[in-house]
Chains A and B, each alone.
Chain A
Amino acid sequence: MLTEKYITGFCSIDNGIVAKDGVAIFGHQGDLPGLLLAAYQHLQLSYPKFYKMDNLSKLGWLTTEFLLKNTFNPGDYRPEETGVILANANSSLDDDVKYWESIKDVASPSLFVYTLPNIVIGEICIRNHFKGEQALYIQPEFNAEFITQQVSYLLNKNIIQACICGCIDVFEEDYKAVLFLVEKKKTDTSVVFSAEKMDEIFNKEA
Chain B
Amino acid sequence: MSSINEINEPDVFVVADNILSPLGKTTAENFAKLRENISGVKQHTDVAISPLPFFASLFDKGEEFVKADEHNYTKFEQLLIASIADALNGSGVDVRDKKTVLVISSTKGNINLLENEAINDELKERISLSTSAKLVAEHFGFQNQPIVVSNACISGVLGVITAARLLRSNQYESAVVAGADVISKFIMSGFESFKALSPGPCKPFDKEHDGLNLGEGAGTIILSTNHKYAQNIKVKGGSVSNDANHISGPSRTGQELAGAIKNALQEANFIADDIDFISAHGTATVYNDEMEANAIAISELQKVPLNSLKGFYGHTLGAAGLIESIISIRSLKQSLIIPTIGFTEAADPGKVNVGTAPIRLKANNFLKTASGFGGCNAAVIFGK
Q: Which A positions have Cβ atoms within 8 angstroms of B?
A: 1-3, 79-80, 84, 89-91, 93, 96-97, 99-100, 103, 106-109, 112-113, 115-119, 121-123, 125-126, 128-140, 143, 146, 149-150, 152-153, 156-159, 171
Task: Indicate whether B151 reaches chain A with its CB closer than 8 angstroms.
Answer: yes
Chain B: which residue is nearest A132 at the CB level?
A: B241
Partner of A118, one of B127, B152, B162, B245: B152
A84 to B192 Cα, complex, angstroms: 30
A54 to chain B, nearest CB (A): 11
Residues in A whose Cβ lies below 8 Å from that of B375: 122, 125-126
A100 to chain B, nearest CB (A): 5
B322 to chain A, nearest CB (A): 16
B253 to chain A, nearest CB (A): 11
A90 to B129 Cα, complex, angstroms: 9
A46 to B213 Cα, complex, angstroms: 39
A119 to B5 Cα, complex, angstroms: 34
B379 to chain A, nearest CB (A): 12
The A/B interface has a contact count, at CB < 8 Å, of: 168
The B368-384 residues at the A interface (CB cut-off 8 A) are 372-376
Q: Please tell me if the beta carbons of A122 and B148 are within 8 angstroms of each other in the complex.
A: no
Chain B: which residue is nearest A130 at the CB level?
A: B244
The B170-217 residues at the A interface (CB cut-off 8 A) are 171, 185-186, 189-190, 192-194
The B243-294 residues at the A interface (CB cut-off 8 A) are 243-248, 256, 259, 263, 267
Residues in A whose Cβ lies below 8 Å from that of B263: 159
Chain A: which residue is nearest B266 at the CB level?
A: A159
Residues in A whose Cβ lies below 8 Å from that of B376: 118, 121-122, 134
Q: Which B positions have Cβ atoms within 8 angstroms of A?
A: 1-2, 4-6, 107-108, 111, 114-115, 119, 124, 127-130, 133-134, 145, 147-152, 158, 162, 165-166, 168-169, 171, 185-186, 189-190, 192-194, 239-248, 256, 259, 263, 267, 372-376
Known: A108-B193, A131-B243. Is A136-B259 also a contact (CB below 8 A)?
A: no
B201 to chain A, nearest CB (A): 23
Q: Please tell me if the beta carbons of B130 and A89 are within 8 angstroms of each other in the complex.
A: yes
Partner of A112, one of B6, B194, B242: B194
Which of B2, B190, B259 gathers most chain A CB within 10 Å? Answer: B190
Residues in B whose Cβ lies below 8 Å from that of A118: 150-152, 372-374, 376
B138 to chain A, nearest CB (A): 14
Q: Please tell me if the beta carbons of A113 and B373 are within 8 angstroms of each other in the complex.
A: yes
Chain A: which residue is nearest B103 at the CB level?
A: A137
Q: List 12 A-B contacts (CB under 8 A).
A: A1-B2, A2-B2, A107-B193, A125-B242, A128-B244, A133-B240, A133-B241, A134-B151, A134-B240, A139-B130, A140-B128, A153-B169
Q: Please tell me if the beta carbons of B242 and A113 are within 8 angstroms of each other in the complex.
A: no
Partner of A138, one of B124, B130, B162: B130
Q: Please tell me if the beta carbons of A116 and B373 are within 8 angstroms of each other in the complex.
A: yes
Chain B: which residue is nearest A114 at the CB level?
A: B247
A158 to B74 Cα, complex, angstroms: 41
Residues in A whose Cβ lies below 8 Å from that of B243: 122, 125, 131
Q: Please tell me if the beta carbons of B374 and A149 are within 8 angstroms of each other in the complex.
A: no
Partner of A100, one of B6, B115, B247: B115
Chain A: which residue is nearest B194 at the CB level?
A: A109
Q: Please tell me if the beta carbons of A103 and B145 are within 8 angstroms of each other in the complex.
A: no
Q: Please tell me if the beta carbons of B193 and A112 are within 8 angstroms of each other in the complex.
A: yes
Q: Please tell me if the beta carbons of B244 and A107 are within 8 angstroms of each other in the complex.
A: no
Q: Please tell me if the beta carbons of B149 and A135 are within 8 angstroms of each other in the complex.
A: yes
Q: Please tell me if the beta carbons of B189 and A107 are within 8 angstroms of each other in the complex.
A: yes
A91 to B107 Cα, complex, angstroms: 10
Partner of B111, one of A96, A107, A137: A96
Partner of B148, one of A2, A107, A130, A139: A139
A143 to chain B, nearest CB (A): 7
Partner of A115, one of B129, B134, B190, B256: B190
A-B pairs, top 9 by smallest CB distance, nearest first, are A122-B374, A112-B190, A107-B193, A138-B148, A125-B244, A125-B242, A140-B130, A109-B193, A107-B189
A87 to chain B, nearest CB (A): 9
A79 to B259 Cα, complex, angstroms: 11
A112 to B103 Cα, complex, angstroms: 26
Residues in A whose Cβ lies below 8 Å from that of B256: 80, 131
Partner of A117, one of B150, B169, B193, B240: B150
A108 to B190 Cα, complex, angstroms: 7
A153 to B263 Cα, complex, angstroms: 14
Known: A131-B242, A135-B151. Is A80-B2 also a contact (CB below 8 A)?
A: no
